[in-house]
Amino acid sequence: MTGTEIARDRKAAVSVRSLSKTFGQGEYAITALDSVELDILENEFFTLLGPSGCGKTTLLRLIAGFELPTNGSISLQDQDITDKPPHRRPINTVFQNYALFPHMTVAENIGFGLRMLGRPTAEIKQTTERMLALVQLEAMAGRRTDQLSGGQQQRVALARALAPAPKVLLLDEPLAALDLKLRKSMQIELKSLQAETGITFVFVTHDQEEALTMSDRIAVMKSGKILQIGTPRDIYDRPTHRFVADFIGDINILEGTVEHTDGDLATVRLKDGTRVSAHLGTASARSGDVSVAIRPENVRLASTGETPTLTGILENIVYFGAATNLHLRLGTGEEMVIRNPGAVDEGRYQPGATIGAILQPELIRVLE
Amino acid sequence: MSGREPQSALAAAIEQNKRTERVTRAWLLAPALTIILAISILPLGITVVYSFLTPGTYGGVTWEFSTDSYVQFLFQRDIFDDTLVFNSAYVSIFLRSIGLALGATLGALILGFPTAYFIATKPREQRNIWLFLITLPFWTNLLIRTYAMLLIIRDEGIINIMLMKAGIISSPLTILYTDTAVFIGLIYSFLPFMVLPIYASLEKLDFSLVEAGYDLYANRLKVLFHVIVPLAKPGIVAGCILVFIPGLGAYITPELLGGGKKLMIGNMIAMQFGASRNWPFGSAAALILMALVILVLLLNALAARRGASNNG
């Protein structure tokens, strides 16, 4: 099932249409977002993934209402909210630096949104207690926020943003400031919190692993554009762009020329004359020079007697417990990495040896 | 037990060391302490002593103990039967002064807060230019600036000429030599004292907190009063104190713009050392003013402590 198929049977929470944002004017103008089209579905954990400066935070700030778009529109559950100020959008944000109010206690921070909405005191108290329990901070209710650890502050920020029960929760790299171990446990906590509350989460990160583990769907962004939208498996197994393939995980990229196509399959002749068949997917390049990509774990060592797809000279062996990476220099002059589960026979696989590699044909992709 | 001897020897050595350090410190502090004593504590002492003496006929004091100066502040001694009758003249001058100083503080706050916010939200490299413009009037003597203000607000001044030319008024507004003039003059003189501390606390403000406020359904006004003002409170309090205290004891402004008709404390005290030739009463009035200021500061400190203990 691809990302677009999911979109057909569920309703969109946030719809973004030809959204552009330019900062500055004239020759100093910087285009942060360039005609972005996007549908984020109800109850979805959606991630905007990309390197810094790709426009993911700008997109988030536009959805929150902190910035106004130069062009295009944003709608929330089929209601146009493009010109609405942030305080009139039922959308809350978890800020990167948490932005907790230092002059309020933890409980006052969490109740702030409901207080501003003018809800009755009893309801505010009840919701605040429920939120404190949700993020396991009951004991901290009366503390000032500067007396909390980073992870606790993170939880307060989360509880504060969830308390008014927003339609959509925006999270701007909320885990960036935490150490690795805490980050891992918060990833799981966030994911289960999303499932529990059923609120649509829009999560911004530059960490591909974080995106893969947490998201229902991911949009990979670069230079103000969305390159690919899909489930983590779509993005990982079926990348459509060289940038996407390269940004997420390790990948072998080989140059070649399309000889002929047959439906989704293309026969590509590599530089050393080897022919491989690769999936075209949504790639527009159906002839001429293309790049084909395959993950290191989808290449295996040829056993004796097997005809290898490609051969190369072994240059390096990198062992890291669960797997071993074998770096080959192919006849084409390109490098290829084979990820072999577990260790390899060190007597047989020595630097300088000629090695045969078998590429699983169904996992070779043609990139844009 | 044997370990005790060397230990006490060590303690004695440490004690000796500390003593030397204390002596050195005292010598190093001596010049500064002497200056502080000479220019601050000594004159204050003289004022206290004078306030308990009897006025000399041609100014100065005669060395004869009396509490008359303090009595005079509240009561008038009947010339015939020596009974004390409550006299509100001086109290009302004090109340007027407090009223004017409070008004000027409020006015300076209303003008100064947006100004400080404006500067704090400018790009960093522009802020210094704006701050320079705020402090620029200080480069000119207060007396000269007050005269300039006099030229602006007098009957034939710029304001009245412009309003009359524009046909808004037919006869000049009388601003000069009224409380309004003193009020305007006080705000003008002390506005920078309000702007600078507020700017200092707004400059440190994390503006993502403002965004968080908007994000959590607060409109502009609510963000101002629930987020920005509480966080700028130290600056606001400092600014108010810095305007209120000199405003309370102002001399030049009420003298020139108020026409000396309606006195503020400062003018009243000056008068005692001049025309009235009652130095002890002037000293007593100055000390009462000082007591008032200390009271304000104490109340502020108390409120701050209570606020801190509430939060913690």
pLDDT of residue B309: 64
In this structure, the answer to whether residues B118 and B231 fall within a common structural domain is: yes
Within an 8 Å CB–CB cutoff, is residue B206 touching chain A?
yes
Is residue B78 over pLDDT 90? no
Say yes or no to pLDDT of A3 above 50.
no
B312 touches chain A (CB under 8 A): yes
Task: Tell me, yes or no, whether B106 and B245 share the same domain.
Answer: yes
User: A87 to chain B: which residues are within 8 Å by CB?
Assistant: 214-219
User: What integer best gives the mean pLDDT of chain A?
Assistant: 89
- Residue B107 inside a domain? The answer is yes
B32 located within any domain: yes
E runs forming strands in A42-130: 45-49, 71-76, 79-80, 91-94
The closest of A110, A207, A212 to A153, measured between CA atoms, is A110
Pair (A147, A294) in one structural domain = no
* Domain match, A197 and A271 both: no
Query: What is the tens place of the pLDDT at every residue in A24-40?
Result: 887 888 899 999 999 99
Last residue of a domain, one of B240, B258, B276: B258
Contact B212/A95, CB-based, under 8 Å? Answer: yes
Residue A72 has φ and ψ, to the nearest 5°, of: 90, -175
Which residues of chain A lie closer than 8 angstroms to B310, CB-CB? none
* Residues B212, A93: C-beta atoms closer than 8 Å: yes
CB contact under 8 A, B211 and A103: no
- CB pair distance less than 8 Å for B226 and A112: yes
Query: A116: which chain B residues are within 8 Å (Cβ-Cβ)?
Result: 213, 216-218, 222, 226
This prediction has a pTM of: 0.81
Q: Report the chain B residue with the minimal C-alpha distance to residue A119.
A: B217
The reply to whether B130 and B236 lie within a common domain is: yes
Is A53's pLDDT higher than 80?
yes
Which tens digits make up the pLDDT trace of B174-208? 888 888 899 999 999 999 999 999 999 999 999 99
Q: A58 to chain B nearest CA, in Å?
A: 14
Q: How far apart are CA B128 and CA B55, in angstroms?
A: 52
Does residue A242 lie in a domain region?
A: no
B231 → closest Cβ in A103, A117, A164: A103
Find the residue in A nearest to B217 (Cα): A87
**In the structure, what pLDDT confidence band is assigned to residue A284 with cuts at 50, 70 and 90?**
low
- A225 and A264 together in one domain: no
CB A144 within 8 A of CB B245: no
In this predicted model, what pLDDT tens digit does every residue of B205-239 receive, in sequence order? 999 999 999 999 999 999 999 999 999 999 999 99
* Residues of chain A contacting residue B208, judged by C-beta atoms under 8 Å apart: 95, 97, 99
**Whether A211 and A301 share a structural domain:** no
> Hey, what's the torsion of the CAs at A233, A238, A242, A243, to 10 degrees?
-20
In sign, the C-alpha dihedral spanning B242, B243, B244, B246 is positive
- The arithmetic mean of pLDDT across residues A223-237, rounded, is 93
- pLDDT of A1 > 60? The answer is no
Please judge whether A86 and B226 are an interchain contact, meaning their C-beta atoms are less than 8 angstroms apart: no
Q: Which residue of B has its CA nearest to A113?
A: B216
Looking at the structure, tell me whether residues B47 and B112 fall in a common domain.
Answer: no
Residue A330 and residue A198 share a domain: no
Nearest to A86 among B215, B226, B312 (CB): B215
The answer to whether residue A244 sits within a structural domain is no
Which residue of chain A comes nearest to B232, CA vs CA? A103
Residue B125 sits in the same domain as residue B233: yes
Highest mean pLDDT among B11-25, B97-111, B146-160: B97-111
Q: Is the domain of B46 the same as that of B141?
A: no
**How far off is chain A from B209, nearest CA to CA, in Å?**
5
Q: Which ranges of A73-149 does DSSP label H, i.e. alpha helix?
A: 106-116, 121-134
State whether residue B78 sits within 8 Å of chain A by CB.
Answer: no
Residue A172 shares a structural domain with residue A255: no
- Asked whether the predicted pLDDT for residue A2 surpasses 50, the reply is no
* Shortest Cα–Cα distance, A270 to chain B (Å): 52
* pLDDT confidence tier of residue B4, bands split at 50, 70 and 90: low
Residues 6 or more apart in contact with residue B209 via CB below 8 angstroms: A99, A101, A102, B227, B231
Report the CATH number that the domain containing residue B229 is assigned in CATH: 1.10.3720.10
- From B51, B67, B84, the end of a domain falls on B51
Task: Name the residue in chain B with its Cα closest to that of A90.
Answer: B217
Q: Which domain holds residue B3?
A: 1-51
Range of the domain at A135: 3-237
Closest by Cβ to A116, choosing from B208, B222, B311: B222
Q: Quick check: B310 pLDDT over 60? A: no
Q: Which residue of A has its CA nearest to B227?
A: A101
Output the domain CATH number for residue A306: 2.40.50.140
Q: Is A68 exposed, middle or buried (0-12, 13-18, 19+ CB in 10 A)?
A: exposed
Q: Tell me the pLDDT tens digit for each residue of A120-143.
A: 999 999 999 999 998 889 999 999
**Cβ <8 Å between A113 and B311:** no
Task: Calculate what percentage of chain B has a pLDDT beyond 90.
Answer: 48
Identify each DSSP E strand in chain B by its residue range: 54-55, 61-62, 75-77, 84-86
The answer to whether residues A161 and A92 touch, using CB atoms and an 8 Å cutoff, is yes
User: Which residue in B has a C-alpha nearest to residue A162's C-alpha?
Assistant: B216
- Asked, for residue A7, whether it belongs to a domain, the answer is yes
The verdict on residue B295 lying in a domain is no
Indicate the number of domains in chain B: 2
Is the model's pLDDT at A93 over the cut of 90? yes
pLDDT at site B85: 84
- Check if B123 contacts A (Cβ < 8 Å): no
Give mean pLDDT, residues B57-79: 85
**ipTM of the complex in this document:** 0.83
Domain boundary among A237, A258, A293: A237
Tally of domains in chain A:
2
